[in-house]
Amino acid sequence: MSSLDIFNESNIYMPGGVNSPVRAYVGLETKPPVIKKGVGAHIFDEDGKEYVDFIGAWGPMILGHCDEDVVKAIKDTAENAIAFGAPTELELKLAKHICTTIDNVDMIRMVNSGTEATMSAIKLARGCTKRDKIIKFAGCYHGHFDGFLVEAGSGVLTANIPGSPGVPKGSIANTLIAQYNDIESVKELFEKYGDDIAAVIIEPIAGNMGVVPAHKKFLEDLREICTKYGTILIFDEVMTGFRVAYKGAQSLYGVKPDLSTFAKIMGGGLPSGAYGGRRDLMEQLAPMGPVYQAGTMSGNPLVMAAGYATLTKLHSNPHYYEYMDKIAGKLQKGAEEIAKEKGLPLVINRRVNMMTMFINEGGEVANFKQAKASDTKLYGRFFEHMLKGGMFMSPAQFEAMFIGVKHTEEDIEKFVDLMRKF
Ligand SMILES: *Cc1c(COP(=O)(O)O)cnc(C)c1O
């Protein structure tokens, strides 16, 4: 079957033909290619067309597709251990590796997705503080948990869904919204509700309104306010963990969260998630403590093996991060030069190996409001031009593009040359 035939038939059996909305190319003429195979930084669709992949499964494939060590770990494990619902040594290996290499994680609980990680971290924070309210930031995305679907980024934003039908008012009644990089908006909420705020959750480098890094002072002030009010500070590092640095965004900023959430890279491309942090908080989880959270598939052997293979490889090759920074810098520089030549209003926000090319007249994107002012129509045309020419990047303006260790100078040159023809 051709790529298009498969996608068209998929629409009969799956809403929008997809299992996650952003894949459907909402609002674009182009239909998404159906992907068959990935090798390193390249993927191939069912028609055999090759693309340089700047999505990388939305982050996880930092080592490139089907990295030999990850494939071997999955294959070897599958021969003997697919699922038990009982403790395994593989869980210990991954948990110990994360707790000993990541600062601020004393104990960890494995789950199956980023959504599960963040919603469980919130539950734990509420359980520990015996408070109900949480603060999230406009434009940040923490998964599809009801309490987070207010002014959320990522696909929610692209599909222009203000909240989501199906979320009862009660579920978001305790969700307070502050503005990214605006500490005054946080202070105002604390002055009003301080003693009721269980947690503040934030992407320390936002990736889901497009890449918008937090200002250092903003995160430091946030830490101070949370400490003052006894509020749990949660860094959602589902995207940034093991990506912008092995030790995540928290290591770049030197700000210490109470809890951190991970997913994406930590599962090596298999469905994964985890939350961890201060021992006294984690010990409140069942069976040690009263806060209940469970999962039949949590800590699954295949996921643990793929995650362990990925994280140990990243950890023992620190030069990977320098390489990705260099390659991504080359891409940024090339794109900025072309934008200048063409008079294209381009704002590139980048941290190491994740970036967004905002088509934006404002000259700066530091918060949700500025991100939303981007020219999504023109971005859509840019995207379609790049896709046609073999560059697989986000179909939506409000997402990140990811550079991995397998991207080459040649991939970048191709991207820049193609951009010149836009
Ligand atoms: C992707 C993402 C999530 C959700 O993870 P899923 O595995 O898709 O449920 C949560 N938070 C952040 C910051 C993310 O980037």
217 is a catalytic site residue: no
Query: Looking at the whole model, is its pTM more than 0.95?
Result: yes
Q: How far is the CA of 243 from the centre of ligand 1 (A)?
A: 14
236 is a catalytic site residue: yes
Report residues whose beta carbon is within 6 angstroms of any ligand 1 atom.
113-115, 118, 141-143, 203, 207-208, 236, 238-239, 263, 273
Secondary structure class of 243 (helix, strand, coil):
coil
Nearest C-alpha neighbor of 256 from the set 102, 46, 407: 102
The pLDDT tens digits of the residues spanning 155-193 come to 666 665 556 788 888 888 899 999 999 999 999 999 999
Secondary structure class of 364 (helix, strand, coil):
coil
The pLDDT tens digits of the residues spanning 294-322 come to 999 999 999 999 999 999 999 999 999 99
Ligand 1 atom nearest 264 alpha carbon: 7
The pLDDT tens digits of the residues spanning 350-393 come to 999 999 999 999 999 999 999 999 999 999 999 999 999 999 99
Q: Of the residues 19, 62, 115, which should be mutated to test ligand 1's pocket, given the most ligand atoms within 8 Å of the CB?
A: 115
Nearest C-alpha neighbor of 215 from the set 349, 65, 123: 349
Active-site residue (options: 141, 180, 321, 379) = 141
The pLDDT tens digits of the residues spanning 75-127 come to 999 999 999 999 999 999 999 999 999 999 999 999 999 999 999 999 999 99
Secondary structure class of 62 (helix, strand, coil):
coil
DSSP string, 274-313: EEEE-HHHHTTBTTTSSB----TTTT-HHHHHHHHHHHHH
Q: Rounded to whole angstroms, what are the CA distances from 71 to 40, 63, 148, 232, 244?
A: 12, 11, 34, 38, 24
- Round to whole Å and give the CA distance between 237 and 228: 23
141 is a catalytic site residue: yes
Q: Of the residues 144, 157, 238, 398, which should be mutated to test ligand 1's pocket, given the most ligand atoms within 8 Å of the CB?
A: 238
Q: Of the residues 146, 208, 234, which should be mutated to test ligand 1's pocket, given the most ligand atoms within 8 Å of the CB?
A: 208
